[in-house]
Amino acid sequence: MYAVILKIGAFFVPQHQEVSPITGYLYGRVMGWIPDSTIFQSTLAISLVFLGGFLMTVVVIRQRLEIEVTLFSGVFYILVSALILNYLHPSGAVMGAIFLILSLLNLLNSPNKVYNAIFLFNTGLFIGMASLFYWSFWIFIIWAILSVFQLLGARFKEAMMVITGFIIPFFYQGLDYFRNNHFADFWHDLIPLHFGIEPLPLPHDNLNEWIGGGLVLILLLITLAGQSKNIKKKQVIIRRKINAIYWMIPFSIIAVFIQANGQFSDFFLLSIPISVMLAFQFTRIRSGSAELLHIVLVAIAIYLSFSISWA
């Protein structure tokens, strides 16, 4: 319901039918299966954002990243996404973000010595799955390996587990091309089709898009400024997990930069690390101020849903 409320304006203001560029092999296939119905696509997209918020809550609670158990990380994931993303349309980045969060959850579980190999394999597997929806998500395999080195020590064996899982989705993509007699196109569709270093996408000539993007930038700066407080007085392993989440910030920016036809709204990926850190900082704010800040951000998000033209 929270995700719906933040986009309530879009249900009253006529919206043009948005068509996102094909950003990955599996995204193109999935969009071919989805009925060409605005209501169905909007329902699917809202459900995906809600699922992302739910998984972010699971990440914080299961990893015991904070003493207090709250739902703030999920709330902020949805809220930050609403400020910058027209999530009434299921883009490749929205779908891929779900697998990216699952990868994060498995990565943070990897210090578990009993199921270590499974979690490491799944970390790479979900990054590979995410890349089939938004090609440039492959860059997160570097983030995963660096994080594994920090969490478990610089051991080649663990890195290979991650890489093995990462390769599997592309192996099955190649098999599908081979089965359909299109294997000659596999290499082109794997990299050149979706790769393009272009100027960093900026908001359209729309003041309200600049407002939404500006607010996300401010929240990002607040997140970066609070790094020392977010890891203060925490166990060593918890500090390392939090730092791994912080490392997602530069990789989220690079992913949009190297994706052909990358959209400004794709920077909603920053909502993954931002949501966790804002949840920490939110618990430290005085009760009245926290509620006021939340109401202001919700009001702005609802206003933008009425007025932004997502061209």
| Predicted confidence (pLDDT) per residue in 155-170, tens digit | 788 889 999 999 999 8
Listed in sequence order, the residues at least 6 apart from 67 whose beta carbon sits closer than 8 Å to its beta carbon are none
**Measured CA distances, 179 to 153, 173, 191, 193, 273 (Å):** 41, 10, 20, 20, 39
The span from the CA of 251 to the CA of 141, in Å, is: 10
Closest CA to 280 of 246, 251, 249, 247: 246
Q: What is the pLDDT of residues 97-142, one digit of tens each?
A: 999 999 999 999 988 766 688 999 999 999 999 999 998 899 999 9
Answer whether residue 96 shows pLDDT above 90: yes
Give the pLDDT confidence score for residue 46 in this predicted structure: 87
Q: What is the pLDDT of residues 141-155, one digit of tens each?
A: 999 999 998 888 767
Average of per-residue pLDDT across 80-84: 88
- Whether the Cβ atoms of residue 304 and residue 83 lie closer than 8 Å to each other: yes
Q: Where are the domains of the chain?
A: 2-13+33-307
What count of Cα atoms within 13 Å lies in the side-chain half-sphere of residue 250? 6
What's the start-to-end Cα distance of the chain, in Å?
Answer: 26
Answer whether residue 258 shows pLDDT above 80: yes
Q: What is the pLDDT of residues 211-249, one digit of tens each?
A: 888 899 999 998 888 877 877 767 888 888 899 999 999
Answer whether residue 311 shows pLDDT above 50: no
Q: What is the pLDDT of residues 8-53, one digit of tens each?
A: 766 666 555 566 778 888 888 888 888 877 788 888 888 899 999 9
Mean pLDDT of the chain: 83
More confident residue, 207 or 276: 276
Kindly report the pTM of this predicted structure: 0.90
Phi then psi for residue 195, to 5 deg, are -95, 135
**Measured CA distances, 59 to 55, 107, 114 (Å):** 6, 10, 19
Q: What is the DSSP letter of 9?
A: G
Q: How confident is the model at residue 201 (pLDDT cuts 50, 70, 90)?
A: low
Closest CA to 96 of 147, 40, 20, 39: 20
Phi then psi for residue 180, to 5 deg, are -100, 15
The span from the CA of 244 to the CA of 108, in Å, is: 8
